[in-house]
Structure 1
């Protein structure tokens, strides 16, 4: 894989012209190269690192139409920039792998960026960001059979819970089915249960109080015919001790929407990462689009927080 160039301290990394041209050529002229890349990929030796942790970068936002970050509503629409940022993040030895939809995973495969990495396929991206029916998180990406066939390490699903939206019930059912199907292949099912409240104007607010988050954890923990392969992906919160004590399942902390202060984000993640059930960190925009454009430094800072938490 050729060298990533940097356009400037704020612009962030860029794929070289050679990388970009070759990727576009393969996409247009050799679709069979994708299947070949899946088959040839060297998988990670194990799901957890030698430290028994898991650090993934997330890149499934665009498939749900969520393109904005850092005040730029179109930041993640620039695919060349997104891929370059992912390549830089994956080059850090502390980063175990990626969570993404088929398009992004396949582009990273063609760029040679996923050798020896954990790959988690994103499964339900149907609840488009900003749509009136956004809570209808239908399964539109990978399914359990394709995750197994392509040699991926597991599947991730979004489970947004809104007690006033009847569509939540079908999402719960779909996630339960996916958990069972992944377990039948002995593959991780990473469930992201997020409680929401719909305001009078129709807008949605993520509930981060202890009761709401603990309730979401217990709902997600009971999905499917077995919980043997289930992991939970949860946000940091004010009372991580109580929230993460509501399950024995392994958990990862999600980065969520980046705040204005990256140091505050790191501190919040750190308080969650020391909980006994928490095994790792899954972060997307907060690391891929840091305010100063230095992706490598942002990733290294997050990795140091994870290492410090596990050494306590």
Structure 2
């Protein structure tokens, strides 16, 4: 449990001594490198709330409870084999003040303006971290969401913004973690990500060429099909290091683990970036879910 005293201390620090957040970032014990040189990486994702995506499994407001989210994050980050965390400034700063980020790589989420379910959802403006702040805080890189809809002209501005962010991060020698999808709309106007082999391969191809250099670019992509031949076809479109995203919470966690296990066998895959599937598993046991994911690596 996170105690009332711990939560009050976070709020008091924010109210009276906000400069201590930057001080905590500078005092953080950093890992030797952003990514594990010998083993594959497991990065815990917690950037969903800032986009209004609060659902986890059958619970539409699960991630709205900040105390519970922070508790689950602290449990996950303390498990052996977890190498990093991905989040927005509010979440990462809470974790800094809790002392939970020592010896973990940290990636700042950059574009959260495409709010889930909004008419402007594809207008993924950069409303979170920028490359300068990520560098100033001593973090390891930035993550951006790139949804490409050939029938929505707002895609062009998102492409340009992501390309600029890739270039800015590279100039700071920081990792650019790009999460690309081909997006489409239903007749009712609801946005969905096309996870077919053709669409995923196209998204990977486009994302690989963003920016003035790809030297610091990593991809964050979904597991396609059962993680086997279909996934190999998608991964064949790039030589960039790739991390697998966890996706929605599944009622059949064993099937999810099997898909991850097969996909992790591909030579360009370096690990997992997982949020809700590990933070809100069906049985509620965060430590167990994280340990299983570590075992898959």
Q: TM-score range by the shorter chain?
A: over 0.9
Partner SS, residue 147 of structure 1? helix
- How many angstroms does 1:220 deviate by? 0.2
More off after superposition, 17-26 vs 218-227: 17-26
Deviation digits for residues 73-114 of structure 1 (CA, Å, limit 9, x no counterpart): 110000000000000000012000100001101000000000
C-alpha distance in structure 2 between counterparts of 1:61 and 1:247, whole Å: 27
1:60 is displaced (CA, Å) by 0.3
User: What TM-score do you get using the length of structure 2 for normalisation?
Assistant: 0.97
What are the Cα deviations for residues 211-244 of structure 1, in whole angstroms up to 9, with x where unaligned? 1000000000000000000000000011111001
Matched, 1:225 2:212: yes
Contact 2:57 2:248 in 1 (8 A): no
Which residue number corresponds to residue 263 of structure 1? 254
Aligned to 1:289: 280
Partner of 2:117: 130
CA deviation vs aligned residue, 1:184-217 (integer Å, no higher than 9, x gap) = 0111000000111111110122111111000000
How far apart, in 2, do the equivalents of 1:162 and 1:270 lie?
Answer: 30
1:61 aligns with 2:52: no
Q: 1:38 aligns with which of 25, 35, 49?
A: 25
In structure 2, the partner of 1:95 is 82
| Candidates 239, 242, 246, aligned match of 1:251 | 242
How many angstroms apart in 2 are the aligned matches of 1:205 and 1:48? 31
2:151 is the counterpart of 1:164:
yes
How many residues are matched?
Answer: 293
Q: Report the Cα distance in structure 1 between the residues aligned to 2:189 and 2:159, rounded to whole angstroms.
A: 21
Contact kept? 2:55, 2:62, Cα under 8 Å: yes
Answer whether contact 2:263 2:269 (CA < 8 A) is retained: yes
Preserved CA contact (<8 Å) 1:157 1:190: yes
| Residue equivalent to 2:58 | 71
Q: Report the aligned-residue RMSD.
A: 1.0
Write the distance in 2 (CA, Å) between the matches of 1:70 and 1:199.
Answer: 22
Q: Secondary structure at the match of 1:169?
A: helix
SS of the equivalent of 1:19 reads: helix
After TM superposition, which residue ranges in structure 1, 4 or more long, deviate above 3 angstroms? none
Q: Which runs of 5+ in 2 are unaligned?
A: none
SS of the residue aligned with 2:115?
A: coil
1:10 match: none
Instruction: Indicate how the Cα distance of structure 1 residues 50 and 16 shifts in structure 2: closer, same or farther if over 3 A, else same.
Output: farther
Give yes or no for contact 1:258–1:265 (8 Å, CA) kept in 2. Answer: no
Does the CA contact (< 8 Å) of 2:141 and 2:174 recur in 1? yes
For the residue of structure 2 that corresponds to 1:170, the secondary structure is: helix
CA distance in 1, matches of 2:35, 2:108: 16
Matched, 1:105 2:92: yes
The match for 1:305 is 296
